[in-house]
Structure 1
Amino acid sequence: MDNTASKGVSRRGLLQAFAATSLVAAPTYANAFGFLKGAGDIRRIKMYNGRTGESMDTIYWVEGDYIGDALAEVNHFMRDWRRNEVIRIDTRTLDIMAASHALLDVSEPYVLLSGYRSPATNAMLRARSSGVAKSSLHMTGKAADLRLGSRSVSQMARAAASCNAGGVGRYSGSNFVHMDCGPVRSWGS
């Protein structure tokens, strides 16, 4: 679904103004999360899921309000595809993802590697890998593992960490970044 907002300002104009302002903040990414909150009238998320072949590009927040239909689309998109289970994705995680994406100044969608994981899926993955947490925030809809083809793990992690709003894990060997809305912390290389 591709939603647009038309409140006297074009989406392109709003995004260009946001990008120009983010260039000033880019060297340090200072207060990036607060920056997003005051950045404009819309928040947008673009993702692709290689496991399901699905893509989404949706505006999920307009002028201070989350859009229910868009959030339902996000919840379905970020479902546990192995078990086809859906949970409500925490909007704070979406906001971190959107802020990081905007700071990176890219138009390509995130590649979603993992969104919601059911406890059964998390246990199965944990049995296969030591990198899967027993009480993963993925099981509560508060985390996402993401990749961008045009940006390094380091660049993505710095943008996410600049939000100062949750956990950021660098997985350079697997070429992805974990973003969550839990306590502020970072790990990996």
Structure 2
Amino acid sequence: MTNKTTVTRRALLGGMAGFGVVSAAPSFANAPAVLSGAGNIRRIRMYSQRTGEKLDSVYWIDGQYVPEVMDEISFLMRDWRQNMVIPMDPALIDVMAAAHSVLETDEPYQMMSGYRTPETNAMLRRSNRGVARNSYHTRGMAADLRLLERSSWDMYRAAVSLSGGGVGRYRRSGFVHYDCGPVRSWQS
């Protein structure tokens, strides 16, 4: 006979407030297992470089995304220039959280760019040829991120090891692009 204890999401979230470590971080060799959902909770830590807003939340518990936290993530990752919010793709958040775990750091991501309206994307494209015309940013499927404690090379390698989407390293600017589109990688 087994003795099962049921824990509600609310109780788990309340009980986890202040915890910095959720589970042991895997090596790059186990990175695909992290992306496929090993573990019962997933956490994301980030702040917006543009607005100063911060987030440190468990967004997935026992196979389910927490809708209120996903809404908070989407708000933080909004197009700050237009103050427009769309739902961010959960697969992107999974890639970000998995890469963060592989990097074995508690430092929050510095998010430089999340969602972009088509108008913002076009404006950026006029001044930078590296901005894609049909960017995954305009679909809520991409983020440009930085960590001060880890190099862009380490961030790039961690995300590439996951095979969870597109990964681009921008050396001169010191950030890495993660998206949940087709698996591919590039450096500039």
Q: Please, what TM-score do these two structures have when normalized by structure 1?
A: 0.87
| Residue 158, structure 1, aligned to residue 157, structure 2 | yes
Q: Tell me, in whole angstroms, the C-alpha distance in 1 between the residues paired with 2:92 and 2:20.
A: 26
Higher helix share: 1
Indicate the percent of aligned positions where both proteins have the same amino acid. Answer: 52
Alpha carbons of structure 1 residues 68 and 175: separation in structure 2 relative to 1, 3 Å: same
- Which aligned segments of 4 or more residues in structure 1 are displaced greater than 6 angstroms? 8-11
Q: Residues 84-95 of structure 1: matches in 2 within 5 Å?
A: 84-95=83-94
Matching of residues 134-153 of structure 1 within 5 Å = 134-153=133-152
Distance 1:10-1:129 versus aligned 2 partners, 3 A rule: closer
2:35·2:164 contact (CA, 8 Å) conserved in 1? no
**C-alpha separation between the residues in 1 aligned to 2:37 and 2:142?**
23
| Cα deviation, residue 18, structure 1 | 2.2
* Structure 2 counterpart of 1:108: 107
Distance 1:111 1:150 in 2: 11
Q: Secondary structure at the match of 2:47?
A: strand
Q: How many residues align?
A: 179
Amino acid at match of 1:114: S
In 1, the alpha carbon distance for the partners of 2:78 and 2:11 equals 24
Which residue in the other structure is 1:74 paired with?
A: 73
Q: What is the SS of the residue equivalent to 1:53?
A: coil
* Structure 1 position 50 matched with structure 2 position 49: yes
1:49-104 per-residue CA deviation (whole Å, 9 max, x = no partner) reads 12101111111000100000000000100000000000110000000000000010
Amino acid at match of 2:139: T
Question: Is residue 113–residue 145 contact of structure 1 (8 Å, CA) maintained in 2?
Answer: yes
Residue correspondence of structure 1 range 124-143 to structure 2 within 5 A: 124-143=123-142
**1:12 positional shift:** 5.4
Question: 2: distance between equivalents of 1:10 and 1:149?
Answer: 24
Contact kept, 8 Å, 1:5 with 1:42, in 2: the verdict is no
- Cα separation, 1, equivalents of 2:53 and 2:21: 27
SS in structure 2 of the partner of residue 130 of structure 1: coil
1:5 to 1, 9, 12: 12
Residue of structure 2 equivalent to 1:34? 33
TM-score relative to the length of structure 2: 0.88
Q: Which residue of structure 2 aligns with residue 123 of structure 1?
A: 122
Name stretches of at least 5 consecutive residues in structure 1 with no aligned partner.
Answer: none
| Superimposed CA distance per residue, residues 140-180 of structure 1 (whole angstroms, 9 cap, x where no aligned partner) | 00000000000001100000011101000000100000000
Structure number with larger C-alpha Rg: 2
The secondary structure found in structure 1 opposite 2:29 is: coil
Task: Please list the CA deviations of residues 95-144 of structure 1 after superposition, one character each: whole Å capped at 9, or x if unmatched.
Answer: 00000000101011000000000000000000010110000000000000
Cα RMSD (Å): 2.3
**Gapped runs of 5+ residues in structure 2?**
1-9
Structure 1 residue 34: deviation in Å? 2.7
Query: Are 2:79 and 2:116, in contact at CA under 8 Å, matched by a contact in 1?
Result: yes
Q: 1:10 to 1:74 in 2, by over 3 A?
A: closer
